Amino acid sequence: MPITDVTIVRRCADCSVEIGTITVKKDNMRLMTNDLNWCESCGTETREVRDIAQREETVTAEQASYPGNPPVEDVTAAEFRRRRGAGIAV
């Protein structure tokens, strides 16, 4: 069954404190807005930044599943030229 509802986290654009969350249908999702909202932490009306809930955790989990890089061997320039001339993979 496809996901139809998405939870959006609303944060203050100045201090990044969470203002609240809203759940909307995917078709009606709107992450960009020019509306001003009251921030208790700042004590002023400020812009809000919207983001999909748990997106950071999902990105972190995906990046952790990537294969690692092989270790880099530190060689001097002279050793590098010797290996390259001998046909050894560098």
Q: Could you write out the DSSP letters of every residue in 20-88?
A: EEEEEEGGG-------EEEETTTTEEEEEEEEETTHHHHHHHHHHTSPPPPPPP---HHHHHHHHHHT-
Q: Convert the pLDDT of each residue in 22-59 to its tens digit.
A: 898 888 778 888 888 888 888 889 898 888 888 888 88
Q: Which tokens belong to 52? A: 């999909």
Domain map (residue ranges) of the chain:
1-56
pLDDT of the residue at 89 = 61
pLDDT of the residue at 33 = 84
Token pair 């390259």 is found at 84
Q: Convert the pLDDT of each residue in 62-88 to its tens digit.
A: 989 988 887 777 878 888 888 888 776
- Cβ–Cβ < 8 Å for 51, 13: no
3-state secondary structure of 5: strand
